[in-house]
Amino acid sequence: MKHQKAQELEVLEWLNTKKDISLEKLKGKIVLIYVFQMLCPACVQHSIPQSKKLFKRFLNEEIVILGLHSVFEHHEVMSPKALKVFVDENDINFPVAIDLSVEKDFMPATMKKYNMQGTPTLLIIDQESKIRMHAFGLVNELDIGLLLGKLLEEKKD
């Protein structure tokens, strides 16, 4: 999947933005997509704090942080309404998409499209809309920083 063209996210709704966000519109920027579930312990303890830290660090730069809430279990308690409360209570200020549920399929559309194993998952998409990282589980901040530095240098060339 690495270096393949990133496919558009299939979204029910966006939170924390009035804009219609698409990867096509973000071409030319580096995009980090944190895929999470609000009931996922590793997401709550690691990836959400990490994404918030990176969002503050790279605010107003050529790096965009997005969240994607992908529900593949416990559907009944992870409604859009519950997610809005979760996002607010956890001070998540970057745009968060709700992955589109597909009728009679436990796995949501974007999660299936990207062949994700679960949450947390981190996708890093370069300025040419190519996937440069597709990682399931906890990702070391040093590894993220090294890749971001490399991508920013590539842009200068």
What's the pLDDT score for residue 101?
A: 86
Per DSSP, what are the bridge partners of residue 13? Answer: 98
pLDDT per residue as tens digits for the range 6-20: 999 999 999 999 888
Give the pLDDT confidence score for residue 77 in this predicted structure: 63
Please report which helix (H) or strand (E) contains residue 100, including its range: none
Q: What is the pLDDT of residues 19-39, one digit of tens each?
A: 889 999 999 999 999 999 999
The pLDDT value given to residue 55 = 94
Where is 109: in which H helix or E strand? helix 109-113
pLDDT tens string 40-69: 999 999 999 999 999 998 887 789 999 999
pLDDT in tens, 76-125: 667 889 999 999 999 999 999 999 987 777 789 999 999 999 999 999 99
| pLDDT interval class at 1 (50, 70, 90) | low
- Whether 74 has a pLDDT exceeding 90, the answer reads no
The pLDDT of residue 76 is 67
Phi-psi label, residue 32: left if phi above 0, alpha if psi -120 to 50, beta otherwise: beta
Residues pairing with 135 in the sheet:
122
> Which H or E run includes 153?
helix 141-156
Q: Is the pLDDT assigned to residue 131 strictly greater than 90?
A: yes
